[in-house]
Amino acid sequence: MYTQAMDLPDPQAGTLQAVPAPAESALQQQFDGKMDADRKIEPQDWMPDAYRKTLVRQISQHAHSEIVGMQPEGNWISRAPSLKRKAILLAKVQDEGGHGLYLYSAGETLGTSRDQMLEGLHSGKAKYSSIFNYPTLTWADVGVIGWLVDGAAIMNQVPICRCSYGPYARAMIRICKEESFHQRQGFESLMVQMGGTPAQREMVQDAVNRWWWPVLAMFGPPDADSPNSAQGMRWGIKRISNDELRQKFVDATVPQARILGVTLPDPDLKWNEARAQHDYGVIDWDDFWAVVNGNGPCNKERLATRVKAHEDGQWVRDAALAHAAKQRARALKEAA
């Protein structure tokens, strides 16, 4: 795990010779050289302010998405139809909490505290993935989230395993392995439901109809409307463009839908022989921006639940700090 203890004193402080700091242009050149050579930037390395800020924003948004993303499916843990499904769902929702923790830790290595990041989320200043502002109306939604939402997350996140910032890239390797389990459990649950009664099949189709378009929007605005993407590419933070990722996702999902026996709700979706890719219909970006800007079906509920969970957990943090202080005092006493 990355450093959790940035407030600890440096044991070597004061023993090192002061080295004159290189001029900023030389540092910038070194940084650019690392970008050109596709080498990693580590927390102790010099980096431009804008690179640091972009990473803090992206990593914290990513962490927020993981922990807010626990809510739509968490709502179904007590209503899972069998012990097996409940155990799988519990494990998956716990994984998402873990992803949030790795990512907050990666964000902390950039000099921003977890409290600062959480304050951004709780005050509504920081964003999280808009997909989690949609409701989970039936049990089929849980399977569809695994299949499509986690499937889209994998498509988005595998390239981040090669991100130029070391702690973020390393966190993503484990996260992607777990996301793969999430996708498979969703698909398998849907396969079972599609083999059930006509009412079950209808429930799955209804969930697919509601989630398909918001999932396509998860990849972000079209490349033509993404002015920051070029800088992200240069910095090795973004490796594949929004539209390319969306296309890869559509192409991978169409055969899976066929195996499941569901229809993807897009009359324009068809194979384009010349492009050797699927064409698909127009995404409703007005709906996407309305949800991003706080007006989705569940934005207020999600944020209120998150803030309450944080407040309810205050005693755990207090107890952990008191325990750590006691242990430190005991260690000091023993050392004396």
- Residue 41 or 142 having the CB closest to Fe ion: 142
Residue with tokens 């799988």: 88
Minimum distance of Fe ion from residue 72's CB (angstroms): 11
- Residue 22 or 97 having the CB closest to Fe ion: 97
- Residue 141 or 179 having the CB closest to Fe ion: 179
Element (H, E) at 277: strand 277-279
Among 62, 64, 85, 182, binds Fe ion (CB under 5 A): 182
Minimum distance of Fe ion from residue 309's CB (angstroms): 17
Element (H, E) at 72: helix 70-74
- Residue 99 or 238 having the CB closest to Fe ion: 99
| Residues within window 117-156 making contact with Fe ion, judged by CB under 5 A | 150
Specify the stretch interacting with Fe ion by CB under 5 A; choose among 10-18, 99-107, 136-144, 197-205.
99-107
Q: Are 126 and 60 in contact (CB under 8 A)?
A: yes
- Residue 47 or 172 having the CB closest to Fe ion: 172
Minimum distance of Fe ion from residue 157's CB (angstroms): 8
User: Which residues, other chains included, contact 242 with Cβ-Cβ below 8 Å and sequence gap of 6+?
Assistant: 219, 220, 221, 222, 223, 226, 229
- Distance of alpha carbon 200 from alpha carbon 69, whole angstroms: 25
Burial of 59 (0-12, 13-18, 19+ CB in 10 A): buried
**Which of 49, 47, 1 is CA-nearest to residue 28?**
47
Among 96, 109, 215, 262, binds Fe ion (CB under 5 A): 96
| Residues within window 15-44 making contact with Fe ion, judged by CB under 5 A | none
- Distance of alpha carbon 6 from alpha carbon 104, whole angstroms: 13
Q: Say whether residue 99 binds Fe ion (CB under 5 A).
A: yes
Element (H, E) at 232: helix 229-234
Minimum distance of Fe ion from residue 96's CB (angstroms): 5
Specify the stretch interacting with Fe ion by CB under 5 A; choose among 102-110, 119-127, 172-180, 323-331.
172-180
Minimum distance of Fe ion from residue 218's CB (angstroms): 12
Minimum distance of Fe ion from residue 63's CB (angstroms): 10
Element (H, E) at 324: helix 314-335
Binding residues vs Fe ion (CB under 5 A): 66, 96, 99, 150, 179, 182
